[in-house]
Chains A and B, each alone.
Chain A
C-alpha cells in the first residue's frame, strides 16, 4: 500500500487537528477476503423473505435484489462487538440481517481483534449468499480499552478505492478515537456509461465526556469540524472527490453539534428521532455537505429494532444500545444542485 507522507498534508491549514495523515505503522487497514459459504444460513434468507414492516427491508426484499439506481449507507454502533456477541447466535443473526440490507455499513465499537468479529460477521453474511468484504482500522483509544472502526460493504454494489483508507492523523491527540476514512465507488453494471457515484466516508465515535459545552477547546465536535474540512480538502485536491459522508456515533443531538453545525451546508440526514435503543436520545448521524452532495435521494431514517424488525425489547437491547441510521444515495454522480429525482425516477419513498 502506498501511503502519502505526513508532510504531504502540511499545505492544508493546520487548525485544531492536523488533517488526514497516514502513518504506515499506525494505520494498517486489514482487508478481509470474501468468505465462502460454510454455514447454512437458510434462516437468513427466509427471514429476508418475510413480510417485515421495515421499509428498508421491504425495498430490498420485494424485488429480491437491491435497487440498481441507488445505494444504501448506514451507521451501526454495535455495542461491544466482540466475543460475547459472537457467541450469541440470535444476536448475530440479527446483525447479519441488518448489515445485508445495506451497501456500506460503518461499524463502531469493534472489539477483541483476536476474536475476529468482523471476519465472523463476513463469514455469516457470505454463507447466506452475500459477497461482502470489509476494511478495518487499527484499534484506537487512549487507554487499554480500544476499539476498531470497520466499513462492511457489498462488493457487488460498491468497490473500495485502493490505498485511500486511513485513520486521521492526530499528532496533538485532540480526539480519543481518531476517525477512520475510506472511499468507495458504486458498481453500476446496468448503466456503465453513466458516472458511478464516488464518495468518501468518515466514520466517527466521539468520547461522550468530550462533546459538551464544558469541553472547551478540545470539544471533539469542534475537532470533527476540522477533520471534515481537512479531509474534504485532501480528497478533493488529491482525487477530485467532492462527496463526503461523515457518520457514526457523535454522542450528541443535532442541535448540539458545535463546530460541525457551523460548516455551511453540512446537514444531518435522518428525521429527528432517538437513535439509542431505549429511545431516549439522538446520538448517531449521517451528515453530508448538502451544497456539494446532490446524490442524496432525500431518503433517510432510523431502524427501531422493536418497531421495524419486530424484535422483542430484550433482543433489541442485546443487539446494541444504538439503533441503525441509514441514508439512500443515487448510484450515479449528480452535479451539485442537480435534481436527483429527475435522474433517478425509480427512487422509492421510504421516509
Chain B
C-alpha cells in the first residue's frame, strides 16, 4: 500500500476501507510513521474495530516524524475525542526533547482535558521533553499538588525533569 491510498482509506466514509487501512498499519507499523496523524484520528473512530486496529498500530509505531509535530499539537487543541488526544500526546512524548515546541499544547492537555489518562500522558510527555518544556512548570506544579495520585506522581517526576533535576 502506498501513501496516497492508505491516507484516502483512513479518511474514507466506508468502514471496511478504514478498517483495511488501519489493519494494514497494525500489521506493518514500521512502515506507517508517515501516517501517524491519520492513525491518531483513527484511534477515535466511531467503529470499534477501526479504533482498535489504529491503536495497535500506534502502540508499535515508535516516534513520529518531527515535521508532524504541529499537526499532532493541533489534534490536542481541536479534537474532542479522548483516545485521539491520548495518542497525539503519546506520540509527541516519544519525540523527547525535540518536542519542546509542543509544550503549550501539552500544558493544555494537562490542565484542561476531562480525560484523566490524557492528563497523565501529558505529564509523562513533558517529563520526556525535559528542560525544553520548562514553560510547563506552573501547570505541573498544580497537577503535582491537586491531581489524583498517579497524576500527582507523574507530574512530580515531570517537574523535576523540566527543571533539569531528573535522576
Contacts and interface: CB of A to CB of B under 8 A. Distances in A.
B128 A214 contact: yes
Contacts of A84: 19, 23, 49, 53
Most B Cβ at <10 Å: residue of A82, A145, A278 = A145
Contacts of B94: 209
Contact of B83 (A112, A143, A217, A218): A143
Given A208-B59, A208-B60, A145 B153 contact: no
B51 interface: yes
Contacts of B167: 216
Given A111-B52, A144-B83, A173 B149 contact: yes
B150 interface: yes
Interface in B32-85: 48-49, 51-53, 55-56, 59-60, 82-83
A317 B83 contact: no
A174 B120 CA distance: 12
A84 B54 CA distance: 14
Contact of B48 (A112, A209, A218): A112
Interface in A74-129: 79-80, 82-84, 111-112
How big is the A interface, by class?
20 to 34
B49 A83 contact: yes
A216 B56 contact: no
A210 B48 CA distance: 25
Contacts of B113: none
Interface in B92-129: 93-94, 96, 117, 120, 124, 127-128
A2 interface: no
A56 to B, nearest CB: 25
Interface string A218-230: 1000000000000
A238 interface: no
Q: Which 5 A-B pairs have the closest CB atoms?
A: A173-B150, A145-B55, A142-B117, A216-B157, A143-B117
Interface of A: 79-80, 82-84, 111-112, 142-145, 172-174, 207-210, 214, 216-218, 278, 317-318, 321
